[in-house]
Copies of this chain bind each other. A is one copy, B any other.
Amino acid sequence: MHIDCVGILGTKKTDKTGRPKHQGCEMDDSTLSLVLFSGTDDKLNAAAVLTAGAAAMGRKVNIFLQYWALAAFRADNVLKDHGAAPEAGAEGVEHLQRHGGQHWSEIFRQAKEIGEVGIHACSLSMEMFGLKVEDLDPLVDDQFGVASFFVEVDGPVTFI
């Protein structure tokens, strides 16, 4: 995976005439903190793509798994069908399944290879589901509480 301003994650930036735009590379390098709440495949895929994009641009990514997103990271659950947002409809789901690209778990795996990406389970949600860290996919590094999550927050906090 290339790590440059256009990368394999992005097609070259063009306007409506097809001309590439000049684009500087001075960037925000704060941590991107993602609170993953939703456990449908469309949102997890969007989250994985944002994670890979941020990691490819050299940003640290700090992920906090709650509720239905946490349930999707259970070791025995990752590769199952998690559906899509209700608004997707039958047509949307077909687009997702035929052209949706790599599985989100694979994109998260690659993001962890190319950058500094921590995936943390929320203790409260772990208790709610009666889960232990060993029950989760190896993508998940550890578990902690929301106050510890905020210790690592330095920049945007994005809820998905």
* Residues of A that sit less than 8 Å from B by CB: 4-7, 9-16, 21, 23-25, 27-28, 30, 32-33, 35, 37-40, 42-43, 46, 49-50, 52-54, 56-57, 59, 66-68, 71, 82-83, 85-88, 92, 95-96, 99-101, 122-124, 127-130, 133-134, 141-151, 153-160
* Cα A79 to Cα B20 with chains together (Å): 31
Closest to A148 in B: B10
Contacts known (A92-B71, A156-B157); A14 close to B146, Cβ less than 8 A: no
B145 contacts A40, C-beta separation under 8 Å = no
Contact partner of A151 among B27, B130, B157, CB < 8 A?
B27
A148 contacts B13, C-beta separation under 8 Å = yes
Residues of B within 8 A of A82 (CB): 87
Expressed in whole angstroms, the minimum distance between the Cβ of A144 and any Cβ of chain B is 4
A145 contacts B68, C-beta separation under 8 Å = no
B158 contacts A157, C-beta separation under 8 Å = yes
* Cα A46 to Cα B50 with chains together (Å): 21
Residues of B within 8 A of A24 (CB): 151
Closest to A100 in B: B128
Known: A10-B148, A11-B123, A21-B142. 6 other contacts (CB 8 A): A9-B146, A37-B42, A50-B157, A96-B128, A153-B156, A155-B156
B50 contacts A87, C-beta separation under 8 Å = no
A53 contacts B142, C-beta separation under 8 Å = no
